Structure formats: C-alpha cells, structure tokens
Chains A and B, each alone.
Chain A
Amino acid sequence: MSVLIYIDHADGQIKKSALEAISYGAALAKKLNTTAEGLVLGNLSEDLAALGTYGLSTVHHATDEAFDKADAQALAKTVAEAASKTSAEVLIFAANANGVALAPRTAVRLKAGLVSAAVALPETENGFTVKKVVFSGKAFAHVKINTPVKVITLTGNSYPVEKTEGTAAVLTLDLHPEASKVTITGIQKVEGEVPLTEAEIVVSGGRGLKGPENWNLVTDLAHALHGAIACSRPVADDGWRPHHEHVGQTGIQIAPNLYIAIGISGAIQHLGGVNRSKTIVVINKDPEAPFFKAADYGIVGDAFEVIPRLTEAVKALKG
C-alpha cells in the first residue's frame, strides 16, 4: 500500500506542478497511514533523495533515457507496471499536459477510477471522495471513487508546496518503455515568459486596450510583477494575441494568487476560467462592468493612465 506520485520533469528540472503533486500526495499518505513514494521516468540528474523534504519516503527511478522521448501510451504502460510493483493504492499526477495524456491511460490499465482536476485533499472518512472543478470553474463536484486503486490529477496552484525535513531512499526501477508510435519533430518554447499554467501572478488584457499595439502596457506590468500574460477570448479571436494566452471557459482555466484584469468586462464565460484566483484586481473604465462584482480590488479609470502608474508603483515597492 502506498500513494505513488508521478514526478513530471523537463529540461533536467522537476516541474513546480510536480512539487505540488508531491506535497498533496504526502499529505494524503499521512491521512491514509501509508507512505508517499515518487516515480521518476527518464534522465534526471537532480538529487532525488532531497525529495524527502517534501514528504516522500522513497523515489523509484527508471533511468532509461528512452523515457524522455516516449509517448503517453508507452509511458502509461510503465507507470501501471510501477504502480503494481509498488502496490500503489492511489496515483497522483499534476493536471498538466503530460498528466492529461498519462492519467486516463494509466487509470484504464489499472481499472482504476479517475478524478481529474482535483482542488483539495480527498475525504477518506466515508469512502473516498475528491473535490474537483466542474462547469469550467463555475462549480465544484465531490466525486466518489468506487475502485480499490484510485487515480487523481491535481489542478495547478490549488495545493501549496510544503517543505519539511527528510531524506528519501532512491531505488532504481528496471523498467524500459516500448517503442513509441508518436515522434516529436519540433518544440517551440516561448522564451522569457512565465508559463501561464504555472504562474502565481497573471496580468490579462481585454478589448479595452483597443489594439495589439498597446500590449506593452500588459507586458510591462507583468514583467514588473514577474507574472505571466493572458488575454480574453475576443482578443485571441481577433488575432491580437496568440490562442494559448486566452483564459476563460473555452480557453485555459487558471487559479493564480493574483489575477489582474485590464479592460475586460467580465462575461460569465471569462469568470469561469479565472474565478478560483485567490485575489482578483479589475481595472476598467466602465463602473458597471460585471467583473467588479467578482473582484477583490477595483479601479475605475482609463487603463492607458492607470496601468503605467501601477507599473511604476509596483517597481517602487519591489525596489
């Protein structure tokens, strides 16, 4: 019996979402009186024993470099094998690009019930029930898992990374992936910007900014805050900004600590994608903009005057 956490990594680094998943898995293991164990596939030179500080007792490492290029079908097979070998009762994945690809396949292989996009620790007193996002952020559901083995994907920024003392035992797993059917032919990273799904601070612009030529207002403030940039749907649809920056019900759903919305009126579809943000700031020239009702702080004013002053104030504060 154990809680097994899939530790997602890229470019030699463990992802922040994976550290959240580890902290979540460790807290769950404590609740279930069992151990939290990590699973690393592929080449990763980080000190895995140090992951004990996040509450892992053991890290299982299958070191074959072929895992780095393996597709989800091959990886899921390996994860399921590792889960059986370690008698895992619960598997945790970050709900990121790899988690979305892997968790459903792994669940099918293990005949396990899956809850995607969890936002809180399971309730284990009476069965096993997990709270998750539904209706694109407009509500939550409590979903009961009926199977002996359970799989959960954890929504980003919904569980804090918790660090204590400890050292994990690192064990090498003798597992190797089967041949991949999917070939990666190119990777295009957006350099210098914080990935939207991992960002703690997000600055977002809407039609109120009047055109793509004014986006420096958004990026300057985002850079001053070390945050990511986002936009509303009309902005992406009109081609002012790329689609991957669109947050909202039919775009990306995010839950940063701070969300600053500039010139976005706050239609219900937009709110669904951002209303789990811990603090929301709305800047809009229309005092009747519905977004103010969902905000923590608001300024009614012209973005072209307010934002440069706010950017300067942030810079002054950060010294």
Chain B
Amino acid sequence: MKILVAVSKAPDTTAKITFKDENTAFNEDGVQWIVNPYDEWYALVRAIELKEAAPDTIIHLVSVDESGADVILRKALALGGDEAIRVNCKPTDSFSVATQLAAVAKEGSYDLILTGKETIDFNDGAVPGMLAELLEIPCVPVATKLTVQDGKAIVVKEIEGGEQTEEVAFPVLVSCAKGMAKQRMAGIRNVIAARSKTIKVVEPIAVDQLTQAVSFELPPAKTGVKMIEAGQEAELARLLHEEAKVI
C-alpha cells in the first residue's frame, strides 16, 4: 500500500493572532509554527499506524510551501513516513494548493491520500474535495475512523447528529478529524533519524489565482461581563430572557 499524507505548516494553537500592513497580511513576528494539528495528530499518525500493521506500506509526506516549512516536514518525518516532497511555492488559496498536490499525487500513484479536515489558519476545508476532484477519485471528508481491508477503505464520518460508515475502493482520499488516531510524540532517536530522510523539492506548476484574501479583521472585543452572584440564578435566567433575548 502506498500512502500520501498532505501536511501544512500552521501557527501554534496558542499563538496570538494579529495583522500588519493595514490589516492586509498576517503578522508572523514571534509566531511558533507547528504541523497543522489535523494533518499531524490524525492523518499522519493514522498512516503510521497502518504502516505498523502492514510494514511494506510506503508513506510519503507532501507540503506546498517555501523552504521555511522544511523544519515542519522534519518534525513530521520524526513521527514517521519514508520521505517528504515539498512543492516550492507559497500556498495562496485552496485551489492553488490542491492543484500542486494533484501534480505530486499523479506522479506517485497512491492508493490512499490522507489530509487533515482543514488547516487551523485558513479553515477552508476545501483542499481535500478539490484535490479529489482534480484526481477524479472519491473523497470521504471529516472522517473519524479509518480501517483498510482488501484494497478498500472503511471510513466513519460525522454527519449532523450522528455518524455514517462508508466503504470505498482505492484510490481514495480521506480527510481526517478527531478520533482517527491517538496523538503521539516523536522519540529523540526518531528525531535524529529524520535528519537523514529525504525532502525532495519540486518546482510548482502554473495555476490561476481564483481567490485572494484582501484584508483581515479581529472579532470585536466583548464590552464587559455582567457578573451575577451565586444564588441569584433566577436573575441570570431573567436577563437571558429579557435582556439578551436568547431563551
């Protein structure tokens, strides 16, 4: 089995989000970068678990980003994976990323492509569906369980108010959410071993810019909390009913 895992660089979950250049660009000063949690905790770790169960499995990682993302790819390689591919361009929107990933995926003819359900910075969740459409393969988005059996994937995904189990033959793309795998840490030996793994750099193909973020804003700050004494819960219920008008 050959698996491709798409990973993305993302700001640490505790990062304070600010903007610069009159709110037209994300202020990266002082931001710690991590592997996008959905890509790492769920997609990559599940791929590694599948390889542990079937050791002849090959795992390739891929990221669309500039050289600053190599440190993130090394971090991902320390968890597992045989080699990484970096498409050398700035990720500008979901379609451009999906187009670059599609070129890599076509080259490698993978049975299974795993991604996170979305990145925690742009939150489009669109790359999995776009990539699958470009490759003309099925996609199961926002999956919480994945098992592999006789050349097919058995996937559980979230639907409104419950879960749905689906079966689909390879090749297939699955975007991964919480529940898929147990978060793990890379041991020091694996971190050292990852230093000698290959990161293959490929140049991007031409792609049209279909969308672009032109400005950013922060949500308005709350004007101040109204504190209610413990014991006065009836007063809180009254305020929610009469003042906030939400119950």
CB proximity of A204 to chain B, nearest CB, Å = 15
Q: How far is it, in angstroms, between the C-alpha of A300 and the C-alpha of B93 when the chains are bound?
A: 44
Q: How far is it, in angstroms, between the C-alpha of A184 and the C-alpha of B236 when the chains are bound?
A: 46
A147 interfacial contact with B, CB 8 Å: yes
Contact in complex: B160, A306 (CB < 8 Å): no
A198 interfacial contact with B, CB 8 Å: yes
CB proximity of A63 to chain B, nearest CB, Å = 23
Contact in complex: A140, B219 (CB < 8 Å): yes
B217 interfacial contact with A, CB 8 Å: yes
Contact in complex: B211, A113 (CB < 8 Å): yes
Chain B 142-162 interface mask (CB, 8 Å, partner A; 1/0): 101000000000100111111
Q: How far is it, in angstroms, between the C-alpha of A143 and the C-alpha of B38 when the chains are bound?
A: 23
Q: Please name the residue on chain A nearest to B223 by beta carbon.
A: A296
Contact in complex: B38, A250 (CB < 8 Å): yes
Whether A140 touches B95, Cβ cut-off 8 Å, given contacts A102-B129, A114-B211, A243-B178, is no
Chain A's interface size range is 35 or more
Q: Please name the residue on chain B nearest to A308 by beta carbon.
A: B233
Q: How far is it, in angstroms, between the C-alpha of A281 and the C-alpha of B246 when the chains are bound?
A: 11
Chain A 78-117 interface mask (CB, 8 Å, partner B; 1/0): 0000000000000000001100111111011101111111
A299 interfacial contact with B, CB 8 Å: yes
Contact in complex: B94, A117 (CB < 8 Å): no
Instruction: Return chain B residues, CB-CB under 8 Å to A282.
Output: 225
Contact in complex: A105, B129 (CB < 8 Å): yes
A298 interfacial contact with B, CB 8 Å: yes
Contact in complex: A100, B125 (CB < 8 Å): yes
A139 CB contact (under 8 Å) in B94, B141, B211, B218: B218
Instruction: Return chain A residues, CB-CB under 8 Å to B241.
Output: 317
B196 interfacial contact with A, CB 8 Å: no
Stretch at the interface among B9-17, B54-62, B78-86: B9-17
Which residues of chain B from 27 to 58 have any CB-CB distance to chain A below 8 Å in the complex? 37-38, 41
Contact in complex: B230, A116 (CB < 8 Å): no
B165 interfacial contact with A, CB 8 Å: yes
Which residues of chain B from 200 to 236 have any CB-CB distance to chain A below 8 Å in the complex? 208-219, 222, 225-234, 236
Instruction: Return chain A residues, CB-CB under 8 Å to B212.
Output: 143-144, 146
Contact in complex: A250, B222 (CB < 8 Å): no
Q: Please name the residue on chain A nearest to B14 by beta carbon.
A: A268
Stretch at the interface among A69-77, A164-172, A208-216: A69-77
Chain A-chain B contacts (Cβ-Cβ < 8 Å), number? 280
Instruction: Return chain A residues, CB-CB under 8 Å to B219.
Output: 137-140, 275-276
Instruction: Return chain A residues, CB-CB under 8 Å to B128.
Output: 104
Contact in complex: A112, B125 (CB < 8 Å): no
Contact in complex: B167, A309 (CB < 8 Å): no
B140 interfacial contact with A, CB 8 Å: yes
CB proximity of A314 to chain B, nearest CB, Å = 5
Which residues of chain A from 111 to 142 have any CB-CB distance to chain B below 8 Å in the complex? 111-117, 129, 132-142
Q: How far is it, in angstroms, between the C-alpha of A109 and the C-alpha of B217 when the chains are bound?
A: 31
Instruction: Return chain A residues, CB-CB under 8 Å to B234.
Output: 309, 313, 316-317
B130 CB contact (under 8 Å) in A10, A108, A292: A108
B240 interfacial contact with A, CB 8 Å: yes
Contact in complex: B161, A190 (CB < 8 Å): yes
A30 interfacial contact with B, CB 8 Å: no
Whether A187 touches B162, Cβ cut-off 8 Å, given contacts A104-B128, A243-B144, A279-B246, is yes
Q: A104-B130, A139-B217, A190-B162 are in contact. List 6 more A-B contacts (CB 8 A).
A: A101-B141, A107-B95, A139-B17, A146-B210, A190-B161, A198-B160
B positions within 8 Å CB-CB of A: 11, 13-14, 16-17, 19, 37-38, 41, 93-95, 98, 120-130, 132-134, 136-142, 144, 154, 157-169, 172, 178-179, 208-219, 222, 225-234, 236-241, 244, 246-247
Sort A-B residue pairs by CB-CB distance and give the 6 closest, nearest first.
A301-B230, A104-B129, A113-B210, A195-B161, A189-B162, A186-B165
Between A and B, 9 residue pairs with Cβ closer than 8 Å are A10-B160, A105-B130, A111-B210, A134-B121, A134-B123, A135-B11, A188-B165, A189-B161, A200-B246
